[in-house]
Amino acid sequence: MKAQLLVIFAIIIFTVCSCKPSTRGKKQVEIEILSEEFVSDTLQYAQCHASTIVETKDGFLMAYFGGTHERHPDVSIYTSEYKNGQWGIPVKVADGVINDSLSYPTWNPVLFRGADKRISLFYKIGPSPNDWWGMLMYSDDEGRTWSAPEKLPSTILGPIRNKPLLLKSGIVLSPSSTEETHELWKSHIERSEDGGKTWEKIAIPSPDSVKVIQPALLYYSDTKIQALLRSNQNVIMESWSTDEGKTWSEVAVTGILHPNSGIDAVGLQSGAKLLVNNPMESGKSWEAGRNKLDLYYSEDGKNWADIYSLENHPEGEFSYPAIIQSNNGEVHITYTYKRSKIKHVSLKITHK
């Protein structure tokens, strides 16, 4: 769909301060909304969810899962290409068909461009997050065609929902997690020093009573990295590494309200950080708290300002965001829109 025919421009200036009390200085941030649009309408699926986005030579590539509903055996992985100012018709690129009589749903695709410049597509197959397994495909032509699906080694799952982090040293940190039972959720990092040929699984320490999954990684220096984590604590949790991801601190609370839903974050070319999150506490049902979706800003990863409301509704689900910054400096955010569409928002952010 084209940019909804009407391209939206808005300049909003915010005073940036901490989500928690702080004596740090204030800084003004200017937001310019460039466009808001939906991926092309399709009859291929009733619901879609869990988008991921990567920049390509011609524009962008998005992936997500779609089907009758989450967990249904027909749920498959779709991609859509953004070229010449519009999203193309979604294309099914992977499914969970095992044989003629058995099929499992697919889950949580993640697009990632490695040091070799090829695009990787990670995803999951399995009846539930308790017993799914990791899959991987590659594209050498910007997502137009894909290699045959490969099952990842049994010791790793691949990035669970958010993009890996490629360090200047060439080390890849893949944010991952497990859901062994409904009550036992644990996060970990899968670390590779050889471009993804082999991986080492490294735990992010947390008490068993604290459920943390789906880390989002932020880079601060050659050694200092932050993991922001989805949790059941009504706040986002965090963990830090100061040795290129070899070890991680025990998870701790942030001051950011959070309803146990997907998040994502990105480091900007300026060094500042952006986070997308549902700024509410959990409710009685799983979708509670997903009717608002906000953009946050930080200079240091400790002091976060809620700077822009992407969605604010009495009800409905606006969730599972993905965020990147393109080479031209623009920020691109995609997210689930009422489970029926994926929405794409582009914006510019500058400091005053």
Residue 205, domain member (yes or no) = no
Whether residue 93 has pLDDT greater than 70: yes
* pLDDT over threshold 80, residue 58: yes
Predicted local confidence at residue 188, as pLDDT: 98
Residues 94-101, mean pLDDT to the nearest whole number: 97
Which stretch of 60-74, 100-114, 279-293 has the lowest confidence by average pLDDT? 279-293
Whether 335 is in a domain gets the answer no
Residue 19: CB partners within 8 Å, gap ≥ 6?
254, 255, 256, 296, 303, 304, 305, 306
Q: Is residue 1 part of a domain?
A: no
pLDDT of residue 72: 98
Q: Residue 26's pLDDT is what?
A: 56
pTM: 0.93
Average pLDDT value for residue range 123-150: 97
Tokens of 238: 């965090």
pLDDT recorded at residue 13? 44
SS (H, E, C) 79-106: EEEEECCEECCCEEEECCEEECCEECCE
| Angstrom distance (rounded) from CA 98 to CA 106 | 12
Could you tell me if residue 55 is inside a domain?
yes
Using the predicted structure, report yes or no on whether residue 18 has a pLDDT greater than 60: no
pLDDT tier for residue 288 given thresholds of 50, 70 and 90: confident
Q: How confident is the model at residue 43 (pLDDT cuts 50, 70, 90)?
A: confident
101-111 pLDDT, tens digit each: 999 999 999 99
At 12 the pLDDT is: 43
- How many CB atoms sit inside 10 A of residue 41's CB? 11
Q: What is the pLDDT of residue 20?
A: 41
Say how many domains are in the chain.
1
At 221, is the pLDDT very low, low, confident or very high (cuts 50, 70, 90)? Answer: confident
pLDDT of residue 38: 95
Dihedral over alpha carbons 78, 83, 86, 87 (to 10 degrees): 0
DSSP, residue by residue, 172-227: EEEEEEEESSSS-EEEEEEEESSTTSS-EEEE----TTS-EEEEEEEE-SSS-EEE
Read off the pLDDT of residues 323-348 as tens digits, 9 standing for 90 and up. Answer: 999 999 999 999 999 999 999 999 99
Predicted pLDDT of residue 91:
97
Q: Which amino acid type is present at position 299?
A: E
- 87 domain-assigned: yes
The predicted model gives 110-132 an average pLDDT of 97
The whole-chain average pLDDT of the chain stands at 92
pLDDT at residue 25, as a whole number: 42
A 10 A CB-CB count for 211 gives 22
Task: Assess if residue 161 is contained within a domain.
Answer: no
Percentage of the chain surpassing pLDDT 90? 86
Of the listed ranges 180-184, 228-232, 309-313, the least confidently predicted one is 180-184
Q: What is the domain-level CATH number for residue 101? A: 2.115.10.20
| Residues with Cβ within 8 Å of residue 24, at least 6 apart in sequence | 17, 18, 303
pLDDT of 9 = 43
Region for 19 from its dihedrals, namely left if φ exceeds 0, alpha if ψ lies in -120 to 50, beta otherwise = alpha
82 lies in some domain: yes
What mean pLDDT do residues 194-208 have?
96
Is residue 19 pLDDT above 70, yes or no?
A: no
More confident of the two residues 100 and 25: 100
**Whether residue 167 has pLDDT greater than 90:** yes
The yes-or-no verdict on residue 21 having pLDDT over 90 is no
- Domain of 110, in residue numbers: 39-152
Residue 198 included in any domain: no
